[in-house]
């Protein structure tokens, strides 16, 4: 289970019960090596095999498979962000109790953190990413000024466009 959880955290797509595929990056390759080492230490078999070529249909199928799940995660996050916006009247103002403001801040931090985690393993720009980022950024209007870590999640998209 730990192995599959780790593969999922890395953003791997499952091809069959015993095989997973991941986009090539030196750091990801290294992490697969550590995972393989862990499996071997438990007397299992593990192979890390760089794929040098895929046919176009295979590549398309792999990307679709890897993006589908991420797209669902974006949808779920966006639904939460929309729910947050629907509760606008309930969110505290600057004069409300610190505990109330902290609760809102933590909710926003959670949305931001989970979005960035999904984006971190979204290697192909799955559907729903941009819309979800925009919706979460709209939520940031309700920041309580407690955490310096709350920053718009669209920053990197904007900088990608500038390049």
Residue numbers at the binding site for other proteins (CB under 8 A):
6, 9-10, 26-27, 29, 31, 33-34, 36-38, 40, 117, 120-121, 147, 149
Q: Tell me the closest approach of the beta carbon of residue 89 to other proteins, in angstroms.
A: 29
CA atoms within 13 A on the CB side of 21: 17
Q: Whose Cβ is closer to other proteins: residue 23's or residue 147's? A: 147
The torsion region of residue 67 among left (phi > 0), alpha (psi -120 to 50) and beta comes to: alpha
Q: Whose Cβ is closer to other proteins: residue 111's or residue 135's? A: 111
Q: Whose Cβ is closer to other proteins: residue 31's or residue 134's? A: 31
Q: Whose Cβ is closer to other proteins: residue 101's or residue 121's? A: 121
Q: Tell me the closest approach of the beta carbon of residue 36 to other proteins, in angstroms.
A: 7
Q: Tell me the closest approach of the beta carbon of residue 60 to other proteins, in angstroms.
A: 26
Q: Tell me the closest approach of the beta carbon of residue 26 to other proteins, in angstroms.
A: 7
CA dihedral 119, 81, 2, 46 (to 10 degrees): -30
Q: Tell me the closest approach of the beta carbon of residue 22 to other proteins, in angstroms.
A: 12
Helices marked H in the chain = 2-10, 26-41, 56-86, 98-120, 129-139, 155-162
Q: Whose Cβ is closer to other proteins: residue 138's or residue 147's? A: 147
Distances (CA, A) of 45 to 26, 27, 35, 38, 68: 22, 22, 11, 10, 29
Sign of the CA dihedral running 156, 160, 162, 163: positive
Tell how far CA 58 is from the center of its chain. Answer: 24
């Amino acid at each position: 289970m730990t192995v599959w959880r780790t593969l999922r955290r890395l953003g791997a797509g499952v091809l069959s019960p015993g095989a997973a595929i991941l986009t090539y990056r030196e750091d990801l390759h290294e992490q697969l090596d550590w995972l393989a080492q862990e499996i071997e230490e438990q007397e299992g078999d593990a192979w890390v095999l760089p794929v040098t070529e895929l046919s176009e249909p295979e590549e398309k199928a792999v990307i679709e498979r890897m993006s589908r799940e991420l797209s669902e995660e974006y949808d779920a996050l966006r639904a939460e962000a929309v729910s947050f916006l629907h509760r606008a009247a309930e969110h505290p103002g600057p004069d409300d109790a610190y505990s109330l403001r902290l609760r809102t801040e933590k909710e926003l931090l959670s949305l931001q953190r989970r979005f960035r985690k999904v984006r971190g393993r979204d290697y192909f720009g799955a559907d729903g990413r941009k819309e979800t980022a925009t919706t979460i950024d709209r939520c940031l209007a309700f920041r309580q000024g407690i955490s310096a870590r709350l920053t718009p999640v669209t920053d990197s998209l904007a900088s990608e466009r500038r390049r």
